[in-house]
Homo-oligomer: A and B are copies of this chain.
């Protein structure tokens, strides 16, 4: 992934820097999508000192390079980011109690998209689908 980062940056005329490597590493090791400030905290715990503004700018760059995905969970009011490498398009479920986020490794919307395009005459480009509820521990 580090190699891929370097190549993608170079191809885009951008530079390989400490913050970009560090942010990508944290996201690689995390099992669930992180917010900018969660990422910032984790960096501090790893004794990597990067300004929060730089975290935001880095996330924008990594997203532009197609290395991470930005997502929005319902009613959270902030973005989350996760590594794209090796993960197909999928959706999430979040526990209303503890905030635990789990992947749903499926997308049931292909047929529905075709139907909606026919009915509305829109051309569908994106969709967003998330569930929330109670995880086993919080029930």
Contact surface of A with B, Cβ cutoff 8 Å? 72, 74-75, 93, 95-96, 102, 104, 108, 112-113, 116-117, 119-136, 139
A133 adjacent to B126 (CB under 8 Å): yes
In the complex, 13 of the A-B residue pairs with CB atoms within 8 angstroms, ordered by the A residue number, are: A72-B72, A72-B74, A95-B122, A102-B122, A108-B108, A113-B131, A122-B134, A122-B136, A123-B133, A124-B133, A126-B131, A128-B129, A128-B132
C-alpha gap A136/B123 in the complex (Å): 8
Given contacts A116-B104, A122-B136, contact A127 B130 (CB under 8 A): yes
B132 adjacent to A127 (CB under 8 Å): yes
Having A104-B120, A125-B134, A128-B129, one finds 9 other A-B pairs with CB under 8 Å, namely A72-B74, A74-B126, A93-B122, A93-B124, A95-B122, A104-B116, A123-B134, A124-B132, A128-B131
A132 adjacent to B139 (CB under 8 Å): no
